[in-house]
């Protein structure tokens, strides 16, 4: 965690020195595409800037992993879809601060050996504060931190038995970094 915060701090300082002299406002009525990395999960972002101080984004993510050890194999996959909005609270020449709210839904599955499987769904709500800077014409990078409330439910099947578990978690210090280019 300490290493991540150091890298994030260096990136923000670099943004201060590499930004162009124009104001880092969103181009109004434009569509953006980019990527985001939120708490270790990457995804594709599609955004629409309604004005210079407000945008909405649709975030899509997919992960898949397979491992084999001897005769045992484990495969996991997860799909996430989210909707978020950012309101920029000030207009500066270097970094524009914003607040964001987001909602996401995840569906994940795991298969182990032949008789064990797990299906899980999760819904999360996040509120964050961050900053964005324009490093080239209509190309923005951002970083944010805040909290997330997540509620999940998992069904685990072991042979003919099914176990269900639910979990709710509030995470402080959730981080998100990303880049968007607007057209």
User: In terms of Cα–Cα distance, which of 77, 73, 84 is closest to 148?
Assistant: 84
Amino acid 180: pLDDT: 93
Question: What's the number of domains the chain is made of?
Answer: 1
Q: The domain that contains 82 carries what CATH number?
A: 2.40.160.20
Amino acid 17: pLDDT: 46
Q: What does the longest C-alpha to C-alpha distance in the chain come to? A: 65
Amino acid 22: pLDDT: 44
Which residues, given as ranges, of the chain have pLDDT below 70? Answer: 1-24, 39-40, 113-115
Q: For residue 95, which phi and psi values (nearest 5 degrees)?
A: -125, 125
- Domain boundaries, position 60: 2-182
Amino acid 2: pLDDT: 54
Taken in order 87, 90, 91, 96, the sign of the CA dihedral is negative
| Tens-digit pLDDT profile for residues 33-55 | 999 887 667 789 999 999 988 99
Q: In the chain, what percentage of residues exceed pLDDT 70?
A: 84
Q: Which two tokens stand for residue 177?
A: 């970094």
């Amino acid at each position: 965690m300490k290493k991540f915060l150091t890298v994030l701090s260096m990136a923000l300082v670099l943004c201060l020195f590499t930004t162009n002299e124009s104001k880092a406002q969103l181009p109004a009525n434009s569509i953006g595409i980019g990527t985001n990395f939120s708490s270790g999960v990457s995804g594709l972002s599609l955004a629409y800037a309604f004005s210079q101080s407000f945008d909405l984004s649709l975030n899509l993510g997919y992960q898949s992993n397979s491992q084999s050890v001897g005769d045992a194999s484990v495969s996991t996959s997860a799909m996430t879809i989210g909707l978020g909005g950012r309101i920029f609270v000030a207009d500066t020449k270097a970094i524009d601060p914003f607040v964001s709210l987001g909602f996401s839904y995840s569906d994940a599955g795991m298969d182990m050996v032949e008789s064990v499987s797990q299906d899980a769904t999760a819904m999360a709500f996040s509120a964050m504060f961050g900053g964005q800077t324009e490093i080239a014409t209509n190309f923005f990078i951002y970083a944010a931190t805040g909290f997330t409330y997540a509620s999940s439910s998992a069904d685990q099947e072991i042979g003919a038995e099914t176990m269900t578990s639910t979990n709710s978690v509030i995470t402080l210090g959730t981080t998100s970094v990303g880049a968007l280019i607007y057209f």
